[in-house]
A and B are shown apart, each in its own frame.
Chain A
Amino acid sequence: MKFGVVVFPGSNCDADVKYVLEEVMKQPTDYIWHQETSVEGYDCIILPGGFSYGDYLRTGAIARFSPIMKAVEEFADRGGLVLGICNGFQILLEAGLLPGAMKINDDLQFHCHYTYLRVENNRTPFTNLLQEKQVIRIPIAHGEGNFYADEETLRELEENGQVVFRYCTPEGEITPEANPNGSVNNIAGICNKDRNILGMMPHPERCAEEILGGTDGSLIFASILEWWERGGKLGR
């Protein structure tokens, strides 16, 4: 399975993602410069974390107009797998590939620590090796991860099973205290209706090896491989 990691000016988790895919998951992985106009030959595209264009204006607002995003959009439209992590999630929202928007964290603090996530939907290419309601531990690092969607959009997300992860307590309870940024309904990650695009604020690439203090993040990448090996492919 071939992975492409898009590099925007300011991306800073691109190397971590590439390392995990190549060294831990043993998959061929390329960087794709944001000025490129094609994602031909890749099976999964990852928009990594970072501060694309320095987060000027709004997080992800300028990056979404990078030439590569048109190719990513067409790739996603054909059923290609797209994973947006942190700033990558913000870019997917700005591009309209996922619904909603990000606001500044409720307490105005930059949060950089481990969080607990409850798996709400394991019937996606990104979570099929996880159990529903399983609690996983993955770190966050963001100042604008306060997910917002209007009531109608939120209802649709919930009804369609598009909420994939929610911030929770270590026991799996969804409480305001377990929510690090004020996101509506404790939402930490969502997918599109077709479930081939996932956006998540936590960083799975930062906890994919024991030496980093946790391996729960590798379950996301392993799920993608599992989905691929079971015959998941582009096109609908």
Chain B
Amino acid sequence: MFYGKIYVTLKKGVLDPQGSTVQRSLHALGYSNVAEVRIGKFMEVKLDSSSREEAARQLDEMCRRLLANPVIEDYTFEVTEV
């Protein structure tokens, strides 16, 4: 079994309404040193693959096809064997 940790984030340059609101909130709490907040998604996928390479290939395909929207989002992932 393999375990994929997927991070989906808004592309650089795409304004993040949730992130900016949370940033303002942190400023209101006194954390005036916070320069930027970006909010993304974290997904865990457990999958049965023949190898780590195959798991990575499938995860990459899943991200491209469904888990991230390439118009506004970037993605990265890590694979570990469990």
Point out residues on A near B: beta carbons under 8 Å: 57-58, 61-62, 65, 93-94, 99-101, 103-108, 146, 148-150, 182
Contact = CB atoms under 8 A, between A and B. Distances in A.
B17 interface: yes
B17 A107 contact: yes
9 contacts: A61-B66, A93-B71, A101-B69, A103-B10, A107-B17, A108-B18, A148-B71, A148-B72, A149-B71
A57 B17 contact: no
Dominant SS among interface residues on chain A: loop
Given A148-B71, A148-B72, A104 B17 contact: yes
Contacts, number: 36
A106 B17 contact: yes
Nearest to B14: A148
Interface string B1-39: 000000000100011011001000000000000000000
A146 B69 contact: no
Contact of A100 (B18, B21, B71): B71
Given A57-B66, A61-B66, A182 B17 contact: yes
